[in-house]
Amino acid sequence: MTRLFLNAIAVVLLVFTLHACDIFEADNEYPDGKASVRVVNIAPEAVSPVSYFQKDEVVFTGLEFGDMTDFADVAVGRNIDGFLDDQGDTLIVRDEMADKENDIRFFDFERSFTVFAMHGPDSTGNVRIRSMEIEDTPNREGYSRVRVLHAVSGLDVVDVYLTEPNEGIDQESLFAFDIGFNNEGGSSDPDDGSAPAEMPLYSNVEPGVYNLKLTLADDTDVIFEEEVEFDESRNYTMVLYPNEDNDDIERVLLVADN
């Protein structure tokens, strides 16, 4: 009788424990752990400074055009996030711009992301989210890794060259081609086809000083040129940075990713 009684108590405790676990998991929207996120405001026609929020928490506030934050830890998993204007009104929520499943981004445990506040294709003061994961793949020994983000909605599709100082453009110095606004189309490797718009790919580059030159796609006339420098074993995102009218490139914003 005593053994049966103890067995019955054990079963009750087991059921209660399992039920309690179910309740805990249901209430815990995010997995344990954090991701690191920073924000860069490259939206010159935003109606006011912007703030970045995640769920109900404002993570960064009062970001002017050109501001870049330090990294902040945020919860991982399925996130409702977006931008607010200085009145606290929502400019964009990530889910509102998602027209297909793979546009909905997730922050992953112990990974780092740069979130860009940038304009959509129609330059009307709108602000949208462009999140880019900072890949932690080790660098090829003796090399830098570089990728490019086209953030000027009024600038046509371009080809990107990295030339030695005082050298002209040629096929060998072609770094990425057919890069449209928000990286629609384009590739950094002619054998790879088109790189996905959601995540520009890093390419290995020998460290040193280069002249970054832009031409319109399939043209040879250089429309922009600026000196850039890459350090060994560093990763970079080269942002084609808009002028205040958002119709031309003002400069290259070199964002170090490690």
Domains parsed from the chain with CATH numbers: 34-134 (2.60.40), 144-256 (2.60.40)
Distance CA 106, CA 115 (A): 12
The two three-digit tokens of residue 183, written as one number: 């990286």
Residue length of the chain: 258
| Residue bearing the bigger pLDDT, 239 or 127 | 239
The helix or strand, by DSSP H or E, that contains position 205, with its residue range, turns out to be: strand 203-205
Q: Judge whether residue 1 has pLDDT over 60.
A: no
Average pLDDT over residues 103-116: 69
In this predicted structure, the answer to whether residue 241 has a pLDDT above a threshold of 70 is: yes
Which tokens is 182 given? 């928000």
* Cβ atoms of 229 and 209 closer than 8 Å: yes
Q: pLDDT, tens digit, for every residue of 111-129?
A: 788 888 888 766 556 777 7
Q: Kindly report the backbone phi and psi dihedral angles of residue 25, in degrees, each rounded to the nearest multiple of 5, phi listed first.
A: -65, -35
Ranked by mean pLDDT, the top range of 22-36, 37-51, 79-93 is 37-51
For residue 74, what pLDDT band results from cuts at 50, 70 and 90? confident
Q: Would you report the helix, strand and coil content of the chain in percent, each value rounded to 5?
A: 15, 40, 45
The whole-angstrom separation of Cα 170 and Cα 178 is 15
pLDDT score at 95:
56
Q: Which of 38-52, 73-87, 109-123 has the highest mean pLDDT?
A: 38-52
Residues pairing with 35 in the sheet:
74
Averaged pLDDT, 99-110: 53
Cα–Cα distance between 128 and 120 in angstroms, integer?
Answer: 6
Tokens of residue 247, six digits:
């119709």
Most confident of 76-90, 101-115, 189-203, 222-236: 222-236
Cβ(186)–Cβ(195) below 8 Å: yes
**Confidence check: pLDDT of 180 > 50:** yes
**Residue 94 reports pLDDT greater than 90:** no
**Mean of all residue pLDDT scores within the chain:** 76
What is the per-residue pLDDT for 88?
83
Q: How confident is the model at residue 251 (pLDDT cuts 50, 70, 90)?
A: very high
Q: Which two tokens stand for residue 206?
A: 């020998």
211 to each of 55, 129, 174, 235, how far by Cα in Å?
42, 29, 12, 18
Highest mean pLDDT among 30-34, 116-120, 155-159: 155-159
The pTM assigned to this predicted structure is 0.75
